[in-house]
Structure 1
Amino acid sequence: MSAHLAPSAEPIPRYWLYGEPPAVPELRFVHIETIPERMRLYNWEVRPHRHDGLSHALLVGEGGGRLTADGVEVAFRAPALIVVPAQVVHGFRFDPGTDGHVLTMSEGFLAGVLAAAPEAELRDAVALPQAWTLDAGSDGAAALDRCFAEIRREFRAHHIGRASAIAAQVMLLLVAAARLAADRRRDSADRDGQGASPDLRLLARLRPMVDERFSQHWPVERYAAALGVTPGRLNAACRRVTGLSTLQLVHARLMLEARRSLIYTGHGMAEIGYALGFEDPAYFSRFFTKREGRSPQAFRRAHAEGGTGGSVDGNGLDRTGGVSPQ
């Protein structure tokens, strides 16, 4: 997808990190900062917005506030774990003085971690926006605190194996989130997550389907039929939650895979295009160029010249040397 849209066509604000102009994230972009680092600048309020290709996980250690996702507002109090998937329109109102960490990950980074996990429950745990209240002093809360602390330490230290160490901690974070989700499902009296709208739940069912079928170039009608809804209903849900159509979401997934192939493999353009379902290499090139703003060859050269292609450590982990951009 393009990095910018005309204001008249994009009523929902988009940011890189909150308050920064939108951009296409590096495939393995990761950033972590404390809640006060950014929220003090915005009077503890994050107005509804979305990010292209960036997901959030927040660990709230002190204070509380309210999460708004798809127009549904959920209160949270520390300790709490909050998950916001990529493209979901969301906002926050934090109580002044709230503390904790905000972890931001590109879809490429998160997809790479999930690809190494055999359990589907890990993907399901981050498919919907959630605000889970934790039991203070519990093993689960302690495990999450260790995960975020280690991610923060590795993010700042720039040691060898930094990306791998962060990915390992994110995997543990996903395990903790999946276990929280399972506990909530078993506890019928707990209301966490029940406020998720039908649109959000429909999108959560669509995402894994797109992951499986994007290279088959299913039309929107086929996705809708598989989900048991009309194409209009599916498109409306996608637009309300993400500001994008169903087809744009599918194209975004194609672009993610194309970028990964161009950076991490030595395959030719025709081979990459064919693997993504494009029988005509010229059409693949036009498809990519229209959304990226440069050709696949130029994209690959830029990453090779920048030293990021194939690097295990430091490929887009952050843009600012490991400190908060604010």
Structure 2
Amino acid sequence: MSAQLAHSAEPIPRYWLYGEPPAVPELRFVHIETIPERMRLYNWEVRPHRHDGLSHALLVTGGGGWLTADGVETAFRAPALIVVPAQVVHGFRFDAGTDGHVLTMSEGFLAGVLAAAPEAELREAPPLPLAWDLEEGSDEAAALSHAFAAIRGEFRAHHVGRASAISAHVMLLLVAVARLKAGRRDGAGRDGPGQSPDLRLLARLRPMIDERFSQHWPVERYAAALGVTPGRLNAACRRVTGLSTLQLVHARLMLEAKRSLIYTSHGMAEIGYALGFEDPAYFSRFFTKREGRSPQAFRRAHAGDGHEATGAAGGSLDGNGLDRTGGVSPQ
């Protein structure tokens, strides 16, 4: 039975990469492939689905199609940039023969790269889906094309400094996206695809979670700060991501816990306290329930992966989500 059929019973299908069974991504997962490599297998259509903790960036260099996000369809034509944040339910209909690249990054990898940026504008990952047509031959199109090509080149090669090079090129990609976004905001262009009230509400919630997750705010407090009822907030979160508000908060706690376990030498109690857990045993139970192994076991499994000093993805990514063979899929 195909992965697509096996998971079709879910209200919102979940995948690893599209068409592959869902899995929890490693903290520093990165993958890049061309649009035709996967879309030819699915008749150029990606039905609405979500990924757990994975964000997409697509550069469409030929053809076009439609992006669906939260039930809103937006057309795009090459050259075009598309960004889909983690957990957002999305789908695509590509014109046959559409070309370009699909970059997929875990929230952990993206957070690590963003943490190394001194500019606040870069440290904020896009909270909403974007689908922007670019001007053929423009500086912004050239910068994006260079960044995607460089990431793919490093991904397929196995040169010294591969992980650092990929992180650096992703940073340049984020700079290009931030400049493009700033230009669209200052000019007459619209800011991304049609945005539903649910998407706009989630875009306000995400930075609030980033700021308050360690304070363990109840859902009611997030809702009050946003000026909506808890039921309205939960409904928006579930429609856009398939997850409740509390599940989004817990996912953010888990991301920070994993980063601390890999990139620092802090003890379990110290990490738990920093994340707002007064009882180290409760932190251990919280982590184990969601990860399937204890914090200590997680740290042992990732021993040697971390680079505490840089905050970015350091060391070799081989065996931690980055495809060893440079092939189509990490599976």
Counterparts of 2:306 and 2:126 in 1: how far apart (Å)?
Answer: 28
Which residue does the alignment assign to 2:327?
Answer: 323
Q: Is the Cα–Cα contact under 8 Å of residues 125 and 181 in structure 1 kept in the other structure?
A: no
Aligned to 1:262: 261
Describe the SS at the equivalent of 1:32. strand
Partner of 2:317: 314
Of stretches 174-183 and 240-249 in structure 1, the one that deviates more from structure 2 is 174-183
Aligned CA-pair RMSD: 1.9
Q: Which moved more, 1:120-129 or 1:10-19?
A: 120-129
Q: 1:282-293 to 2 correspondence within 5 Å?
A: 282-293=281-292
Matched AA of 1:121: E
Matched to 1:277, the amino acid is: G
Q: Is the 8 A contact 1:124 1:178 kept in 2?
A: no
Amino acid across the alignment from 2:46:
V
CA distance 1:199–1:192, change in 2 (3 Å): same
1:51 to partner: Cα distance:
0.3
Deviations 1:221-266 (A, max 9, x none): 1111222222111111111100000100000000011111112222
Change (3 A) 1:172 1:276: same
1:323 corresponds to which letter in structure 2? G
State whether residues 125 and 178 of structure 1, in contact with CA within 8 Å, keep that contact through their aligned partners in structure 2. no
Q: Pick closer, same or farther for the CA change 1:78–1:194 going to 2, 3 Å.
A: closer
2:306, 2:115 → 1: CA distance? 20
Q: Distance in 2 between matches of 1:160 and 1:182?
A: 35
**Is the 1:86–1:107 contact (alpha carbons within 8 Å) kept by the matching residues of 2?**
yes
Return 5+ residue gaps in structure 1 as ranges.
1-5
State the Cα distance separating 1:164 from its structure 2 match: 1.6
Native 8 Å contact 1:160 1:313 kept in 2? no
Mapping of residues 77-116 of structure 1, within 5 Å:
77-116=77-116
Q: What's the TM-score once normalised by structure 2's chain length?
A: 0.91
Query: How far, CA to CA, are the matches of 2:193 and 2:299 in structure 1?
Result: 44
Distance 2:256 2:79 in 1: 36
Residue type of the alignment partner of 2:328: S
Q: Is the 8 A contact 2:59 2:100 kept in 1?
A: yes
1:135 alignment partner in structure 2 = 135
Count of equivalent residues:
318
SS, match of residue 92 in structure 2: strand
CA distance in structure 2 between the partners assigned to 1:8 and 1:281 by the alignment: 39
Task: Quote the residue 2:165 is aligned against.
Answer: 165
Per-residue Cα deviation, 1:156-215 (whole angstroms, up to 9, x for no partner): 112222122111111111121122222222233x34525111111111111111111111
Partner of 1:35: 35
SS of residue in 1 equivalent to 2:192: coil
Pairwise mapping of residues 208-219 of structure 1 onto structure 2 (< 5 A)?
208-219=207-218
More displaced stretch, 61-70 vs 212-221: 212-221
Q: What amino acid maps onto 1:155 in structure 2?
A: F
Q: Aligned-pair distance for 1:320?
A: 4.3
**Please, which moves more after superposition, 114-123 or 285-294?**
114-123
The residue aligned with 1:155 is 155
Counterpart CA distance in 2 for 1:35 and 1:8 is 23
Q: Is the 8 A contact 2:52 2:86 kept in 1?
A: yes
Inter-partner Cα distance in structure 2 for 1:7 and 1:232: 27
TM-score (norm 1): 0.92
Q: Does 1:296 align with 2:324?
A: no
Asked if residue 250 in structure 1 is aligned to residue 249 in structure 2, the reply is: yes
Deviation at 1:62, TM superposition (A): 0.4
1:142, distance to aligned residue in structure 2 (A): 0.4
Distance between the aligned counterparts of 2:90 and 2:29, measured in 1?
20
Query: Which stretch shifts more, 71-80 or 221-230?
Result: 221-230
